[in-house]
Amino acid sequence: MNLALKELRRRPGRFSTATVIITLIAVLLMFLGSLLDGLIRSSTGAIRAQDADAIVYSSTAQASFPRSRIEVDVRDQVEALPGVDEVGGIGLVQLGARIPGNGPRDLANIALFGYELAPDGVPVPPSDGQVYADDVLEADGVEVGMTILLGPARTPVEVVGFVSDTSFNGQGGLWASEATWRSTLVENRPDAQLADGVWQALIVRGGGSDITVQIDAATAGATDSYTVTDAVNAIPGVEEQQGTFNQIIGVTIAVALVVIGLFFALLTVERLSLYGVLKALGAKSLTIFGGLMVQAVVVTLIASTVAGLLVVLLDLVIPPGSIPIAVSAGSILSSTALLLLAAAIGCSFSLRRVLKVDPASAIGTTS
Distance CA(247)–CA(242), nearest Å, equals 9
**Strand ranges, E, within 136-293:** 147-150, 155-163, 172-176, 201-206, 223-226
Which residues pair with residue 156 across a beta bridge?
Answer: 149
Distance CA(38)–CA(318), nearest Å, equals 13
Which residues pair with residue 87 across a beta bridge?
Answer: 204
**Is residue 211 located within the same domain as residue 84?**
yes
Distance CA(31)–CA(315), nearest Å, equals 9
Distance CA(74)–CA(325), nearest Å, equals 40
Residue 173 in contact with residue 133, Cβ under 8 Å?
yes
pLDDT of res. 270:
67
The domain of 128 spans: 54-226
How many CB atoms lie under 10 A from the CB of residue 190? 9
As separate numbers, helices (DSSP H) first and strands (DSSP E) second, the chain gives: 12, 9
**Is residue 152 located within the same domain as residue 250?**
no
**Is residue 22 located within the same domain as residue 77?**
no
**Is residue 214 located within the same domain as residue 190?**
yes
The answer to the question of residue 171 being in a domain is yes
Among 226, 248, 283, the domain boundary falls at 226
Q: Are strands 147-150 and 155-163 parallel, antiparallel or unpaired?
A: antiparallel
**Is residue 73 located within the same domain as residue 194?**
yes
DSSP state of 358: -
**Is residue 170 located within the same domain as residue 242?**
no
**Is residue 204 located within the same domain as residue 62?**
yes
**Is residue 200 located within the same domain as residue 244?**
no
The answer to the question of residue 215 being in a domain is yes
Closest by Cα among 220, 207, 215, 169 to 65: 169
The answer to the question of residue 313 being in a domain is yes
Q: What is the pLDDT along the chain (367 residues), one digit of tens a residue?
A: 565 666 667 676 777 888 888 899 899 889 988 888 888 888 899 999 999 999 999 999 989 999 999 999 999 999 999 999 999 999 999 999 999 988 878 899 999 999 999 999 999 999 999 999 999 999 889 999 999 999 999 999 999 999 999 999 889 999 999 999 999 999 999 999 899 999 999 999 998 889 999 999 999 999 999 999 999 988 877 878 788 888 888 888 888 888 887 877 777 666 666 666 666 656 676 676 777 788 888 888 999 999 999 999 988 888 766 777 888 888 899 989 988 888 888 777 776 666 666 565 555 554 4
Domain count, the chain: 2
In the chain, the amino acid numbered 102 is: N
**Is residue 209 located within the same domain as residue 84?**
yes
Among 226, 261, 282, the domain boundary falls at 226
pLDDT of res. 185:
95
Which residues pair with residue 161 across a beta bridge?
Answer: 132
